[in-house]
Amino acid sequence: MRTALLLLLGLVVVACSDAQPGSGRKVVGFAQIGAESAWRTANTRSIKEEAARRGWDLRFSDAQQKQENQILALRTFIAQGVDAIILPPIVETGFEPVLRDAKAAGIPVVLTDRSVEVTDPSLFTTFIGADFVEEGRRAAAWLAKTTGGKAMIAELEGSVGAAPAIDRKKGFASGVAGYPDMKVVWAQSADFTRAKGKEALEAFLKTPEGRGITAVYAHNDDMALGALQALAEVGRKPGVDVIVVSIDGVRAAFEAVAAGTLGCTVECNPIIGPLVFDVLEKIGRGETVERRIVTPGGVFDASNVREALPTRAY
């Protein structure tokens, strides 16, 4: 128990102000997943900046990719009696007990970015995030159009059990189902990170089947950027003899599309701070909010990336 407490204290970085719940200033606990990708960093920045703009006391924790750390942080926020909780759940399962405790404490929970599987829908107020199945479908549609419906595909999957990994896989599979000559010949989780994306594809490229791939589908840009490095190291020419498509729309991906190495990135906008605090303030006023708020996104390839690059917010 002592270790858990020490870990917890190390995790929960109390916001700079010393506002206490009930002191008039609204206090929100934000149990962030980690800092695994450029998307995540932009997401954290957006929410922190909006909290400061709106005068909220934000209690932030970085779970360093571990669900147990997220749950510890949630328990701290409940003990502190925060006014609300922002939770991007790292995986879909395992949060029901602590969400029951938050409900018992009368603390509303806003899910951002990813959703959870719970038996009681009242355990969270709303889920603000993208439609990951549609993102997977869009990636498949772009790849089918670009390859004429013929591709031997290596798939780099996100974190095991994470909603975006599950649903982006589902959406992509449904998108290629109508093309008998588009086959996913290999799939492996690389945890949404660039390093693991490079490492996983490097190993596969050493096999005969790996040498035969003509496309890579990565569940996020960071893994796709790692894949581009792995492909270049074995003499493949991304954009020429292998087509890479991914999701997120981070600046480095836009630059790779403009450079002709990454073929397409399907946007999944992490800049949701203003929307999240609009929702938190509606909840604070006792107003009802929609159960599901889908964040929009576009599809970016050589046809439109250059005009979009200068104004990208992340």
Question: Which one-letter amino acid corresponds to residue 277?
Answer: F
User: Over 219-283, what HEC string results?
Assistant: CCHHHHHHHHHHHHHCCCCECCCEEEEEEECCHHHHHHHHHCCCCEEEECCCCCHHHHHHHHHHH
Q: Is residue 38 within 8 Å of residue 222, measured between CB atoms?
A: yes
Q: Pattern 204-223, binding to ligand GZL, x per CB under 6 A? A: ----------------x-x-
> In the range 81-100, which residues lie near ligand GZL by CB under 6 A?
none
Q: Is residue 195 within 8 Å of residue 226, measured between CB atoms?
A: yes
Q: Which of 164, 238, 249, 297 binds ligand GZL (CB under 6 A)?
A: 164
Instruction: Give 27 or 111: the residue with its C-beta nearer to ligand GZL.
Output: 111
Between CA 110 and CA 224 the distance in angstroms is 30
Burial degree of 130 (CB within 10 A; 0-12, 13-18, 19+): buried
The distance of closest approach from Cβ of residue 183 to ligand GZL in the complex, given in angstroms and rounded to an integer, is: 24
Buried b (16+ CB within 10 A) or exposed e, 75-101: bbbbeeebbbbbbbbbbbebbeebbeb
Instruction: Give 61 or 147: the residue with its C-beta nearer to ligand GZL.
Output: 61
The distance of closest approach from Cβ of residue 142 to ligand GZL in the complex, given in angstroms and rounded to an integer, is: 17
Which stretch, 21-29, 33-41, 209-217, 300-308, contacts ligand GZL (CB under 6 A)? 33-41
Q: Which of 26, 40, 75, 138 binds ligand GZL (CB under 6 A)?
A: 40
φ/ψ (deg, to 5) at 89 = -70, 125
The distance of closest approach from Cβ of residue 217 to ligand GZL in the complex, given in angstroms and rounded to an integer, is: 13
Give every CB contact of residue 226 below 8 A, 6+ residues apart in sequence.
156, 190, 193, 194, 195, 196, 197, 198, 199, 201
The distance of closest approach from Cβ of residue 113 to ligand GZL in the complex, given in angstroms and rounded to an integer, is: 4
> In the range 226-255, which residues lie near ligand GZL by CB under 6 A?
247-248
> In the range 111-150, which residues lie near ligand GZL by CB under 6 A?
113-114, 129-130
User: CA 65, 245, 259 angle in degrees (round to 5)?
Assistant: 105
Strands 12-13 and 57-62: antiparallel
Instruction: Give 27 or 86: the residue with its C-beta nearer to ligand GZL.
Output: 86
Instruction: Give 57 or 192: the residue with its C-beta nearer to ligand GZL.
Output: 192
Q: 3-class SS at 126?
A: strand
Task: Give the binding-site size for ligand GZL (rule: CB under 6 A).
Answer: 15
Residue 192 in contact with ligand GZL, rule: CB under 6 A: yes
Q: Which of 268, 279, 293, 299 binds ligand GZL (CB under 6 A)?
A: 268
Instruction: Give 90 or 176: the residue with its C-beta nearer to ligand GZL.
Output: 90
The residue ranges that bind ligand GZL (CB under 6 A) are 36-37, 39-40, 113-114, 129-130, 164, 192, 220, 222, 247-248, 268
